[in-house]
Copies of this chain bind each other. A is one copy, B any other.
Amino acid sequence: MTEFQEYGFHGANLSRIAQRAGIAKGTIYLYYDSKEALFLAAVGKHVVSIMGESEAQVDVPGGTTKELLIHFLRGMYNRFVDSEAQAVFRILIAEGDRMPEVMRDYHAMTVQRGTTLLSKILERGVARGEVRPGSVVRMPHVLMAPTVFFAVHDMMFKNVKPVDFDSFFEAHIDMLMNGCLID
């Protein structure tokens, strides 16, 4: 994965991969039929391993809707901060076209899972009178958007102009609570 992430599929070099793995070049072919197969397996495996972690995150404890949201979103940020997760993310943006099934899986365990859980939290919140019903509840993607933005910004501009996580997270929570406008 590291190799694929650093160089992309075409740029990745099987000699280097073997070297990193501490095995001989030929050994790779005992386990994978081709570079492509290795690549797909590597990405697929990582995607699954992320799913595993995310499984744990889904099982949220009780609390106010605000607490639940904060807990959930912090979990998402944590996952995205992980460099392996970022590697998978980056490579799927770059090379996703060659692996539609992997993309389906990845979508299921990130966006799908995230929005489903958010929906539950929000709907329970609406029932409790803690959440204002409306288009945000129907499209909870916008609530998790800042996590993705942060990940992308981190990947791209870490060395240009990093964003302070705590401030960003605070603003994120602030926005989702009250928006920024006064009506």
Question: Which residues of A line the B interface, CB within 8 A?
Answer: 6-11, 65-66, 90, 92-97, 100, 103-104, 106-107, 111-112, 122, 125, 129-132, 134-139, 141-146, 148-150, 152-153, 155-157, 159-161, 163, 167-168, 170-172, 174-183
Say which residue of B94, B139, B160, B176 sits within 8 Å of A179 (CB atoms): B176
Number of copies: 4
Is A176's CB under 8 angstroms from B175's CB? Answer: yes
Is A179's CB under 8 angstroms from B182's CB? Answer: no
For the complex with contacts A106-B156, A149-B149, A175-B175, 19 further pairs of A-B residues with Cβ separation under 8 Å are A7-B10, A8-B11, A103-B156, A103-B160, A107-B156, A107-B157, A132-B180, A132-B182, A134-B180, A136-B175, A138-B171, A141-B153, A142-B172, A145-B146, A145-B148, A145-B150, A146-B149, A148-B148, A177-B180
Is B160's CB under 8 angstroms from A149's CB? Answer: no
